[in-house]
Each structure stands twice: as structure tokens, then as C-alpha cells.
Amino acid sequence: AGARPYDANDLEILYRLAAAEAGYKDKQAEKNIVYVVLNRVNSPKFPNTVSSVVNQSGQFGSGLARLKNVKIDNNVKDAVNEAFTDYVYGESAQGALYFGRSQTGGDTYLFTDSIGHVFYK
């Protein structure tokens, strides 16, 4: 897994975020969401915990409040758990620190996933 220890609360947040952002459509898309969060946690440019990254102002659709009613299924749990196992800082999701429906400004485009998220850093 990543460079820092993670706990059950971190996993719960990532289950909900992956489900909300990838919509139960594609395991790799769900894993990519987790990779972006873990890349941020391990980057000096961002807060160093999962909850503080997800709650950061202007990021992830205003954070945890919108995630409380998200349904988590076993497929999402499997994707998130696999993402933790497979994660390599700087390599997972090609080191992406951002994703969205389109790329912003001068950031470096990396790839577009199967559900239309654009990943960049």
C-alpha cells in the first residue's frame, strides 16, 4: 500500500468516494479515484491524510458531507482494496493528482478512463 498507514475510517471514505465518483460502472475507474487520493496523500502539495484530502476546499465535490448516503457494494470494496494492494506512488494512475470531466489550464494530461474522467497532474 501507500507510504502512510491507513485505517478503517480511511477505507470507508474511499469506498464512498469511489462509488460516488465512478458510479459502480468500472473497477479500474474506481481504482483510479483511489489512486488520485493516495497520490495526493503522498504528495507534499496536499494534506497528508485521506479525510483531509477529500475534505479540502473546492475538491471532490465539497467533500465528505455529500458522501454520507452513498451506497457501498462489494464490487466497490473489492476495487478499493485492490487499489491499496497495487498502489505505487508516482506510478498508479500515472501519478495523477486530479481528475474531472475536462482538463484545466496548464496541467499535464495523462489519460482518459472508460467512463470519461480525464486524469492529469
| Cα 121 from Cα 119, distance rounded (Å) | 7
In single-letter form, the type of residue at position 12 comes to E
- The pLDDT tens digits for 24-40 are 778 999 999 999 999 99
Q: Tell me which of 6-10, 76-80, 90-94 is least confident.
A: 6-10
Q: Which of 37, 40, 21 is nearest to 29 (CA)?
A: 21
| Cα 115 from Cα 33, distance rounded (Å) | 12
pTM above 0.75, yes or no: yes
Please provide the DSSP assignment of 70-120 as one string. ----HHHHHHHHHHHHH--TTTGGGG--EEESS--TTPPEEEE-TTS-EEE
- The pLDDT tens digits for 36-45 are 999 999 999 9
- The pLDDT tens digits for 53-90 are 998 888 887 567 778 889 899 999 999 999 989 999 98
| Cα 75 from Cα 52, distance rounded (Å) | 25
